[in-house]
Amino acid sequence: MSTNSSSTREENLSQQAYNTIRRAIRDGKIARGQLFSENTLAESLGVSRTPVREALLNLYRDGVVDIVPKRGYRLAELDEDAISEIRLLRVALEQVVVSRLCEVGTPEGIQELRAILAGKGRTHQDMFTNDEAFHIRMAELAGLRQIRRELLSVRGKMYLMASGTRVTSLRNDDVMREHADIVNALERRDSEAARRAITEHVERSIDAFVAARERLVESQRIERIL
């Protein structure tokens, strides 16, 4: 195997590990406060330590996991100031994306976004997957690679915000309708409407995550009392 092929394979494995760990955090499979190691995750994912190490370093850079010297990793904790900053950053990034798409978007790109909207998105996992695919594809179609990366980072922190809680079951239909409003505005090249639609969508989504987080904290408090 050539050096380039080997490097590409490692990058692919690292990306797979990154995606898998993000899903595990999103679904609450990694408990808050729990220490975990590269070895443990590598074994559960069925891959070598190297891609898991790279994935964890990327998640550390994203602010999703903390490195505990000589002990391993654990999920980062987000305070109210961090959540407020996540809200501001997500709105700002998404507004840039839709503004650019109104300028450079193509009919083929609109068709791609509508195809994503047509996905089932009716289970906990499917809606998260469809929602992320929709937002990340918009950034790609806009040619904004750095913003794409930042969006993945911000979304990872949103998953962390309400890890393992029920968010999508309360938002499924609303998310699909809001996505459709965004695409309709993009198709008309109505930048003002697109920015308004994406802002309302992001605000409502973050509100849902915050509410889920508060329910989780309250349920944990009650469990400690009992």
Q: What is the CATH number of the domain that holds 40?
A: 1.10.10.10
- Note the pLDDT of residue 224: 61
* Whether residue 87 is found in the same domain as residue 63: no
Other beta carbons within 10 Å of 223: 8
* Whether residue 51 is found in the same domain as residue 134: no
Distance in angstroms (rounded) separating the CA atoms of residues 119 and 139: 19
Residue 74, classed as helix, strand or coil, is strand
* Whether residue 48 is found in the same domain as residue 103: no
* Whether residue 105 is found in the same domain as residue 181: yes
* Whether residue 58 is found in the same domain as residue 115: no
Q: What pTM value is reported for the model?
A: 0.84
* Whether residue 70 is found in the same domain as residue 85: no
From the list 4, 50, 44, 48, the residue with the least C-alpha distance to 21 is 44
- Note the pLDDT of residue 75: 93
* Whether residue 104 is found in the same domain as residue 205: yes
- Note the pLDDT of residue 170: 53
* Whether residue 71 is found in the same domain as residue 84: no
Q: What is the CATH number of the domain that holds 88?
A: 1.20.120.530
- Note the pLDDT of residue 23: 86
Output the tens digit of pLDDT for each of the chain's 226 residues: 455 555 566 568 888 889 889 888 888 888 888 899 999 888 887 778 889 999 999 999 999 999 999 899 999 999 899 999 999 999 999 999 999 999 999 999 999 999 998 875 445 456 678 889 999 999 999 999 999 999 999 999 988 887 766 555 556 678 889 999 999 999 999 999 999 999 999 999 899 888 877 776 666 566 666 6
Range of the domain at 180: 80-225
Other beta carbons within 10 Å of 112: 18
- Note the pLDDT of residue 122: 46
* Whether residue 182 is found in the same domain as residue 221: yes
* Whether residue 66 is found in the same domain as residue 84: no
